[in-house]
Amino acid sequence: MSVINADYLNLPGSYLFSEIARRVSAHAASNPARKLIRLGIGDVTSPLPPSVIRALHKAVDEQADAAGFRGYGPEQGYAFLREAVVADAFKGHGIEADEIFVSDGAKCDIGNLQELFSSDSRVAITDPVYPVYADSNVMAGRGGAPDADGRFAGIIYMPCTADKDFIPELPRERPDIIYLCYPNNPTGGVLRRNELKKWVDYAREQESVIFFDAAYEAFIADADVPHSIYEIEGAREVAVEFRSYSKMAGFTGLRCGYAVVPRTLLCRNARGAMQKTALHGLWMRRQTTKYNGCPYIVQRAAEAAHSPEGKGECAALVAAYMRNAGLIREGFVRKGLTVSGGVNAPYVWLRLPEDADSWDFFDRLLREAGIVGTPGAGFGPSGKGCFRLTGFGNAADTEEAMERLAAFSL
């Protein structure tokens, strides 16, 4: 008889956003006439920017023509996109085009990159956290069984709470891999330059690797919040960065992102061994074996997001989502709640009155106001008693949600 990977049995029964989708579908099925306002998963609602659409059409037409047709592309991504990325996003940070690995989105890269590390690696995550960081390591056998609070024994948790401005403390126990997401999903917190420098210095001292999830960098408004970890000296020796077109250019359906794996990032070949290997070559080996590359037409669309026109259009999308986030923020402040995020990030994070159970609140907000949010508990034990809403709805729906909220009894 075949035997499964029993580490999967340690995972929560379903992925957070699948469970939300299940509850929302059940509610919609029994209330078919009701308009639901979906501010749960961070899925964009505005159409793709015009320059992206034009690039897509053009690339589709190329496929109809023998001269323009493309079959398999480079697994790492076409040079035209990697060069556009470096020129636009990493100028002056010492990143080369061949250190960019284009993919079908940051979620896959973040979930997959842990494969390059030994199975006994210690992993540190912030809490609350984007569930992919924990779940992918549990699948790889680094979590073990969860305790009653849902904490995995094998994972180092770094609580990020409002009293600490959602900034994690350096862990007491040395991690091999540190996951940082800033601007943060779900809390909307940021790491300012001096804080991020502490993490880079720590990773250098400890020979740890930082997985830096910068999926929300386009939403940064404050000048002293770095957009890339490579703005910090020494980061090219310790950090991989993940970027996504999903939220800043509306690609949640189209799918494109990239990982930056600097050639200067070396890890030891075994505990205590002197010999080191560059992650760059290993990630190339992994991607060429398991991945055939992001579609040509999608990469042309992503390239257009880096053009001057595309950048203006993406900035307008981001501004509109941030206006929504601001409305949500104000709506909950008016209700007297402690609210964070919605300033440098599209997520608004609430502390519920009397630390109410966040799944109960989810159900009640859905039932009584027809608004879908995300329960904080789904992001980890420190998310209990908290709740997340996103600015990614459309403006009219977000305004309507705030009107419904005004009449909703907390």
Interface residue list for ligand MLT (CB under 6 A): 41-42, 107, 130, 185
Q: Helix crossing, 16-30 with 358-369: angle to 10°?
A: 30
Pairing mode, if any, of strands 338-341 and 266-268? unpaired
| C-alpha closest to that of 77 among 362, 306, 340, 275 | 306
DSSP code for 152:
B
Nearer to ligand MLT, 86 or 125 (CB): 125
Nearer to ligand MLT, 296 or 347 (CB): 347
Nearer to ligand MLT, 122 or 329 (CB): 329
Shortest reach from residue 247's CB to ligand MLT, in Å: 7
Q: Which amino acid would we find at residue 112?
A: N
Residue whose Cβ sits closest to ligand MLT = 42
Nearer to ligand MLT, 107 or 384 (CB): 107
The answer to whether 279 and 240 have CB atoms below 8 angstroms apart is yes
Nearer to ligand MLT, 36 or 97 (CB): 36
Give the other-Cβ count within 10 Å of 76's Cβ.
25
Only one residue has tokens 């061949």, namely 98
Only one residue has tokens 């210095």, namely 201
Only one residue has tokens 């920017």, namely 49
Sheet holding 347-351, edge to edge: 338-341, 347-351, 386-390, 374-375
Shortest reach from residue 173's CB to ligand MLT, in Å: 27
Nearer to ligand MLT, 42 or 188 (CB): 42
Structure tokens at 75: 């697994």
The neighbouring-strand residues paired with 123 are: 155, 177
Terminal CA-CA length for the chain: 53
Nearer to ligand MLT, 78 or 219 (CB): 219
Rounded-to-integer distance, Cα 199 and Cα 216, Å:
19
Shortest reach from residue 104's CB to ligand MLT, in Å: 12
